[in-house]
Each structure stands twice: as structure tokens, then as C-alpha cells.
Amino acid sequence: MAATSKMKQRVAYTIGEAGHDMAYNLMANTFIIYATTSLFSGLKNANSLIALLTSSIVVIRLIEIFFDPLIAGFIDNAKTTRWGKFRPWAWGATMIHAVLLIILYSGFLRLLDQNYALLAITVVAFYALMDFVYTIKDTSFAGLVPALSVDSKERGIINSFARVGAALGGGDIIPLFMVPAIVFFTYLSTGHHTQGIQGWFWLGLILAIYCMVTMTISMANVKENTSAIRKSRKRASITDIFKSIFQNDQLMWISLTYLVFAIGNVTSKPSIFYIYNYVLARPAWYWVVGAASTLCGIFSVPFYPVLSKMITRRRVYIVAICGMLLSELLFVVSGKNLVLVVIATILYFLPQQLIALVTMMIGIDSIEYEQLKHGIRNEAVTVSVHGSLDKIAGALSSGIVGFIVIISGMGNATKAAHLSAQNVQTFHLSAFVVPAVFMIISLIIFLAKVKLTEEKHAQIVEKLNVELHKPQKSDESAD
């Protein structure tokens, strides 16, 4: 592939990732803030609704573990169109998911606040539908990476570009303008400088449209490759689909590594909002979170191909986890010190994209590992595992964050003055000490069990090419 064509695909996929990442954050991270601070605010059953919502999300996503591989297998087995195998699914699901996000952030659930049973059923059913559509969207879009190239180095570059897109225009930039935008649009609608549900609606509408536009641009400018390794894939049965996951030991270990890390990570991430809003009583400073995540992504991710070449992916992961642990410690000891909180925020976002890249690349490289080991190649199924882990972690963290909000006294608090010193201490310990423990466990699993290095993957690809280009022996007739 020509250099200009490679660059075009990298940039196009990056643009798609910007909106794709934003859609995930609107559903998994921002929504719980929206629900706890605005959607259910003021309702007499606010705490029970928060508990119901967060526990339902956990149940939905745990059940979804068994359906994600089937959805991915269906996409893998689907007939390749003139637009490719994955592009039509990614684009169509994005349009539907964006519309559902607009409805969710419209505040229509407030119309049901007098009927608790109906409100509860609607919340659960609507979120389940939105989660199902997102699975199709995420699986097909992530499946494009191994479809664009079988070279580990090029995959790493594509994913590095994509992470920059996520930092520049994806969900991580939302905190940069979230509070000012909500206050602004609420003021236009009500004349009050508050974080009202009207402001949330306009924020959700604008960002959902952004997701549609970016995915359209992306899918119009990428093209799947037609290498012999990809063409060798046969239609997989349901048994083959699950075999490609559970027989792939390296996929299993890197998945467990990432899942344990992600649970801790997505527990701390939304909790940072509550530090600025309730502990520091400076919600306007929440823009620091968006600025830190964006700038850290810009500066750290482009160096991933260089770093992984110089010190290997294994060492990148070790250094990145240590950086995350330092940030969690600073959050715990920061108290109401704004300077320490800002420093902790920067350190928190600096390494996390590198962690995502390392685990994602090893998971993608395990496609060829499984193909050589067991003769099974399921691209969408394999990459869907990483997306499923994000959703599972997000679901569990939603339950954890909801629990933290309740035990810290933030469910009924409207401002920082309503929180006692004990409330603040409980929040710090539960929101940052527990996640740090998860990250330490993740590092232990990675060091002990993950063995698929860059060099080993290159050897695997070479062996596959040799086997696939061997002349086929004709059947010998019986004497």
C-alpha cells in the first residue's frame, strides 16, 4: 500500500475514533453524572433510582458477555459487500445509536417521575436497547483495525493515530467544556445560571450529531485489505466463535489484565467530577480534566510506536501503571488542595492511553496467534472482546460510583457545604484506593501471564504466509 494511502486511512480512522470514543463516554461515563446530578435530581426516590439504574446496567452488561461474541460472529460471517465487511455495520449502527443518545439526553424520563414503576421499566429497557446497538457499532468499527492491515507495526500506528483522535475530539474532551456548555444552554432556556436538564439536552444533541458526522467521514475514506491471510478465513460456527476466544490463552490473559485495570480506571474517572464539584466546590475548574486528558493524549500517544520499539510493550505497560498509581495516591492525600488535585489529574491521564494501546495491540495480534495455533480466524469476535471489557468495566464502575455517591452523602447534596469531613474522607478512600488495588492486580497478571511480544507476532505472521503459499498436494488415486 502506498504511503499516501496508508496515511489517508490512518487519518480517516482517527476521525471515526473521535466520534466513536465520544459516543462511548456519553453512554458509559457522562450519563451517570447526568443521571445523578440532573435527571433524577430533586425526585423523592432519587437514591433508589440511582441504585436501580446502576445495578441494572451491571446486570445488562454481564448478560451481554454471552451475546457479544455471537453478534461479532454474525458480522464476521456476513457477506462482504462492495463497501467491505465492517464499514456498513459501523456506519448504520452509529446513526441509530446517536439518535438514541439524543432521546436519552432529552430528559423525557422526567415526564414519568410521578409513576416510579413505569419510570424504572423505561430506564432499564431504553438503556438495554442503546447498549445492544452500541455493541454492533463498537464491534464493527474495532474490527476494521485487523482488516486494514496484518502487520503489527502498521496496526500500532493506526491505533496510535486513533488514540490521538479520541483525545482531540472524543469523549475525553467533554470535561473541557461540559459544565460551561450545560450552564450556557440552561441559561438560554430558563434564564438561570445552573446545570439544568435543558443544558444537558443541547449538549447531548450537539455531540450526537458530531458522532454521526465523524463516522460518515471515516467510513468514506478507509478500505479493507484483501491479503491471503484474511482470505483464508472460513465461515465459523457458534462453537468456532467461542473456541476462538476461550482457546486463545493470550487473548484471555490480556483481556483479564485490561478488565481489572479498566474497572479501577473507570471508577476513578467519573469520580474526579465529584472532587471538583463537591470536595473543592469549584465546578468551573472541571475544564482541567478535559484539558489534561486531551493534552496528555496528544503528547503521549504519538510516541507509542517509538516507545514500544525502544523499550517494548511490556515495559511501556509497567511504566504506565506506575504513573497511574502515583496519581491515585495524590488524589487520596490532596484533600481540598486545588494544586495537588490538578497535578493528580494530569498524572492520571498521562499514561492511560498507553495502557489501552498496549492491551489492545496484544489482543489484536492474538488473531494471528490463534489462527496459527488452532486454524481459527475471527477478526470481529477477537476485537469485540476488548469492547466488551470496556462495557463490563463501565457497568461495574457505574454501580461502584453510584454506591460511592450514596455512602459519601452526595446523593442528597446540592453543594460542597452539605458534605462533612467524614463524607469527604469516605469518598477519597473508596474512589481512589480501591481502583489502585485493581491496577496493581492488573500489573501482576500482565507480568506473569502475557507472553505475546512484537517479535513473537512477527514470527507467527511469517509462518502463516509460508503455510498459505505452500503448493497444495493433489490427491493420489488408489492403485
| Whether pLDDT at 28 is above 50 | yes
In a domain, 2, yes or no: no
Residue 470 falls inside a structural domain:
no
Mean pLDDT of the residues in the chain: 81
In whole angstroms, give the CA distance from residue 471 to residue 474. 9
Residue 239, judged by CB atoms within 10 A of its CB (0-12, 13-18, 19+), counts as exposed
The domain of 49 spans 8-224+240-461
User: Residue 398: how many CA atoms within 13 Å on its side-chain side?
Assistant: 32
CB 86: neighbour CB atoms within 10 A? Answer: 29
pLDDT at 228: 60
Rounded to 5°, the CA angle 86-163-294 comes to 140
Q: Does any domain span residue 472?
A: no
Nearest in space to 268 (alpha carbons), one of 434, 103, 38, 139: 434
Across 286-297, average pLDDT: 78
Residue-wise pLDDT for 358-387, tens only, equals: 998 899 899 889 888 888 888 778 887 877
Scan for cell 478535559, then name that residue.
290
pLDDT given for residue 478 in this prediction: 39
230 part of a folded domain: no
pLDDT of residue 217: 95
Per the model's pLDDT, the better-predicted residue between 337 and 226 turns out to be 337
Indicate whether 479 belongs to any domain: no
Compute the distance between CA of residue 335 and CA of residue 324 in angstroms, rounded to an integer.
18
Dump pLDDT digits (tens) for 154-169: 887 888 788 777 766 6
Rounded CA-CA distance 251/362 in Å is 8
pLDDT at position 474 is 47
What is the structure's pLDDT at 157? 82
Task: State how many domains the chain has.
Answer: 1
Residue range 39-49: mean pLDDT, rounded:
75
Pairwise pLDDT comparison (144 vs 29), residue with the higher score: 144
Residue 84 forms beta bridges with which residues?
A: 81
- pLDDT tier at 476, thresholds 50, 70, 90: very low
Q: Is the pLDDT of residue 260 over 50?
A: yes
In a domain, 474, yes or no: no
Between 44 and 342, whose confidence is greater?
342
Q: Measured between alpha carbons, how far is 242 from 69 in angstroms, rounded to an integer? A: 7
Confidence of residue 323 (pLDDT cuts 50, 70, 90): very high
The answer to whether position 469 is within a domain reads: no
The proportion of the chain whose per-residue pLDDT surpasses 70, expressed as a percent, equals 87
Q: What is the CATH number of the domain that holds 296?
A: 1.20.1250.20
Mean pLDDT within 210-219: 94
Please check whether residue 317 lies inside any domain of the structure: yes
pLDDT in tens, 194-211: 878 888 889 889 999 999
pLDDT band at 477 (very low <50, low <70, confident <90, very high): very low
Angle, alpha carbons 171-176-177 (nearest 5°): 95
